Amino acid sequence: MATSSRLRTFRLWLALIGILAGFSLAPPVQADSHQPAEPPARVPLAAQASTQGPIDNLEDARQAVIQIEAVGTFMDPAEGLVANAAGRGSGFIIDETGIAVTNNHVVTGGALFKVYVDGYDRPLNARVLGVSECADLAVIDIQGEGFPYLQWYEGPIRVGLDVYAAGFPLGDPEYTLTRGIISKARASGETSWASVDQVLQHDASLNPGNSGGPLLDAQGRVVGVNYRRNEADQFFAISRDEALPLIALLREGHDVDSIGINGEAVTDGQDLFGIWVASVKSGSPADRVGLQPGDVILTMEGVSLATDGTMSTYCDILRSHSPEDVLSLEVLRLSTQEILQGQLNGRPLEPKLSFASQFEQQGQTQAEAGTPGTAQEPAPPAYDEYMTITDEQGIFSVEVPTTWVDVTDTPWQAGDEIIGISLFASPDLDAFADDWGVPGLLLRYSEVLAQEMTTDDLLDVLDLSSDCTYKERSPLSVGNLSGAFDVWVSCAEAQTAALVAALAPPGGEFLVRVEIYVASDADLDVVDRVFNTLVVTPPGAQVETAAATEPASGDEPPDTTGLQYDYVAVEDETISALLPAAWSDHFSDEWLIDGESIGRQFSASTDLAAFNDSWSIPGVFIYTVLELADDFDPVDGLDASDFSDICQYDDRAQHSHTIFGVSYQGAYDIWHNCGDEENIYLVLSAVSEPRDHAVLIYFLGTSEADVEAFDVLARSFFVSTPVTAPIIQESQQASQPIAYTTVADAEGLVAVDVPESWADVGNEDWILENEVVGRMLTAAPDLDAFINGWDTPGVLIGASQLLASLMTPAEVLDLFDFSDECTADDRYEYADAVISGVYDVWLDCGGSGGTFVVLAVNPVADGDLLLLLLINLPDETDLPAFERILQSLSPGNVGRGPEPPVATVIVNALNVRNGPGTNYSRVGAVRDGTELQVAGQVNECAWLFVTTPDGLDGWVSGNPQYVSLSVPCAQIPAVEPPPPPRQSSPAAPAAGSAQQPAPANSQQGCYLFQNHLGAELTITFTGQGGSWNQTFKLGPQAEVEKCFPPGRYTYTLDAPPPWGSTNGELEVRAGDYYLFPVRGE
């Protein structure tokens, strides 16, 4: 390392020596301050106000409450175009220079503004400084100065606070004041024209025209900005706490969460949803893209808007992007009945290219032309419902009509060579192959052909000229894929049309061919639906994504606590799995067919001889195939297992599970009443990923306990092969918790938890220029290596009361410059319940690829102490130590509270659930030796509410055969359990634990997100296929509730370094309500 001789500690000490010398170790002296010259004063117009400066009473508040008249052209959904309309609203002045606050919907789209101010003999002109469409706030600058102005209420806004609504309702020039109280301090702010996280509900009467006026307390101070009266005559104001940060930005000339429209969520009551554009601000992004009053914005970034009747989705998208980002739009122009597409900050709106319309223009379908020589048949009805289909490898995902039930995938072959995969869908594939009059879809994927040809070459290979008439080739883009498509019409006597497209990614790694055969007008919509929903995931990317998003808890064996059987872990050459302990009669051997070994076989029961000879004794046969043919399909194993001569067939279900990093995909058949006995016979076939073996299970059950045993077996089995063994071993090792120990300085200024492996600890005075300024604490696996290089993890902590009197945390960080050895990332704020300050992140120091954090903080309860931490994290595996250091850092006498009781797991594996009972969903698992922090218990410790070492909150059994408690049960507080789960709800996502049900959200699933980090967190949820997304920010130690439509989602948690980003998947069900805590890992 180029500068290894310069120790990091020397950088710190020398920098501080310079500061201390400058202050001569004396109390700080405040420097003289100066202010910039004031701008030239503006002359007020005939000012007659009786008060100047801030208003301090309710009676004089009218002098700062204004009426605003906006004149412009608006398009009203009911009235149509209204030219030169004059709408009126209220507002209030917050600065003597004429800065005033109102609602966005009062001013946006106005061409000129007249402001009526108390004491002025004529209206004043004003200009808009900034607006926020989503917060429904605007700041204007009134001509003149020397105005009286309102001040903000500074106390806590609590329910019961007396409030007064001031303004000019119904456009009347007469000032009114109505009285009420705050009835709810955290009401929902989602409306058809705004999206505010939290608003104030009050009962001071509002009417149209009160919009933008102030909600005041008894001393005339502003509590909120009035903006809404609903149909139930409830009144709402944007809270001071929501408004102030935005107003600070708006008055500086920034538009926030805005594109330049006066918009409102609308619907026709059937299937049209969108944002109605009442007016457009000249020069805005909306104006530049070509939006007009009367347009309806249907989608943004491919996401449908206003489906819930609010601006929520629209605003969530704006909040997740910067004003300069390019955002795609789909717009309905009612005046021309056109669908337009374009991009904010990109290409202007233009009519949408529809494959359906292209077919109509270029060719004829059966419904249009009929079959020659026959009477024309009526056109079939349009498809009402669609379903998602995929191939077994998950390469393709696409929506087709639910009537296209004949779906299959096969290898794509060229001669004897397999060059890719094919996915077919049609109402009848046999008829589709022989009859041009049957519609269908054919998708093909190849990496082999991508090395040999282009998209045009792939189109040229398919020549339909013997049956069809060729029209033309046109360019095509679908997501990140691009290429071209050919249109063929008048195919055979049936007059079928065909669209054939060839696509490739930017790097050309693979080729995709899409063939859609249209037999009637009803099939035209299928063409657009296919290209709007098509997702192509290469096999490598799919495996990588699955590994990245698979929750760690999904790798763990199922929890058998409280089940009817006792279970044991069976580890055999054939299989490893959890089986009932009573099934102790085992057999294991090679699986031979015609004398040839093709794998292993294993069986288990209470009595194998009786099990083999009857249908009344439960047990299981398991076969493992260790060498798979390339075309092996697990469903083939089921199709070959026909028991219809002795059993009654019930159904086939899909199977999927992941354990210790190995995934299994397949299906199982359900049979009943085999051999005229009351039983259930389950036949499961699954293939592993990595794809090197298959498992076939024949399971006979005669009781509910046996059905439970099948579920445990199906979620716990795995096979150790030369391919899977390293994956299993790595996963098992990763699940072992890190052991920590507490280190502290000799004078008790600071204590912290560090990994036990950081056993080299330094504890000494912090000495500068022969003066003791505090204490210094260091810990690392090797202190010399930590101090002299960048490849060893460790922490250095300085604690000083003297420096706290001389410098702020930010000033301390300014002393450090590691740019000669590291890459600067950024400075971030940090705050938790104990400490608060800032930290700088440095990356790739000395080429190590790691992260180096310099953190300076003050204790929240003691600003007279400064703590400085230098933490080196050379590897991602060091991140848990960083998190533990921050969580455990205890300055001076300000501890983090007594250590909670601990429950130590004493069995191989124990499930964590989202409630106290086996009827609650499993959200994770812990292994033998794991120490769980216990926060509460129910039923005399029958169940314990715990936090796992990786931050998962949930419930575990408190049975002494499963856990050992560090304190008597009487010392653990009893807590209120969550409500029992709904029987119709499936297992909860691994991200959360159940809490009280969310009111009024029975059509959505809700999550209470909790940020346990000391830094701001950005969370993004995206619907399957990218059809819906929502992004929001969550401050340090904060929480927020968010609700989502039912469906499958991926989520991204994005935190500043060194935490970084992580991804996951979960299923949202209507009526669900879960806790979603986010901690360091």
Catalytic residues: 105, 136, 211
How many helices and strands (H and E) does the chain possess?
19, 65
The pair phi, psi for residue 360, each rounded to 5°, is -65, -35
Q: How many CB atoms lie within 10 A of CB 205?
A: 15
CB 163 within 8 A of CB 185: no
Q: Please give the structure tokens belonging to residue 523.
A: 């099939």
The 3-class secondary structure across 547-563, one letter per residue, is HHHCCHHHHCCCCCCCC
Q: How many CB atoms lie within 10 A of CB 699?
A: 21
| Amino acid letter, residue 218 | A
- The one-character DSSP state at 1064 is E
C-alpha 167/C-alpha 486 separation (Å) is 63
Specify the length of the chain in residues: 1081
CB 618 within 8 A of CB 677: no
Distances 545 to 224, 389, 530, 663 between C-alpha atoms, Å: 46, 19, 23, 13
CB 444 within 8 A of CB 412: yes
CA atoms within 13 A on the CB side of 166: 27
Q: H or E element: which one contains 840? A: strand 835-843
CB 199 within 8 A of CB 37: no
| β-strand pairing of 53-54 with 148-149 | parallel
Q: What is the CA radius of gyration of the chain?
A: 34
Nearest CA to 409 among 398, 386, 425, 397? 425
CB 140 within 8 A of CB 102: yes
The burial of 754, by beta-carbon neighbours within 10 Å (0-12 exposed, 13-18 middle, 19 or more buried), is given as buried
**Ramachandran assignment for 638, one of left (phi > 0), alpha (psi -120 to 50 degrees), beta (any other):** alpha
Please provide the DSSP assignment of 940-961 as one string.
TTTEEEEE-TTS-EEEEE--TT
CB 992 within 8 A of CB 1007: yes
The overall longest dimension of the chain from CA atoms, in Å, is 110
| Amino acid letter, residue 1060 | G
The 3-class secondary structure across 312-335, one letter per residue, is HHHHHHHHCCCCCCCEEEEEEECC
Q: Which residue has the tokens 């893209």?
A: 289
| Amino acid letter, residue 311 | M
Nearest CA to 499 among 475, 521, 520, 518? 518
Please state whether the peptide bond connecting residue 208 to the residue before it is cis, i.e. omega within 30 degrees of 0: no
Distances 374 to 92, 438, 518, 531, 807 between C-alpha atoms, Å: 76, 18, 20, 34, 93
CB 827 within 8 A of CB 840: yes
C-alpha 266/C-alpha 192 separation (Å) is 7
C-alpha 69/C-alpha 60 separation (Å) is 22
What interhelical angle do 355-362 and 524-533 show, nearest 10?
140
The 3-class secondary structure across 47-98, one letter per residue, is CCCCCCEECCCCHHHHHHEEEEEEEEEEEECCCEEEEEEEEEEEEEECCCCC
**Interior angle at CA 751, CA 749 and CA 755, nearest 5:** 155
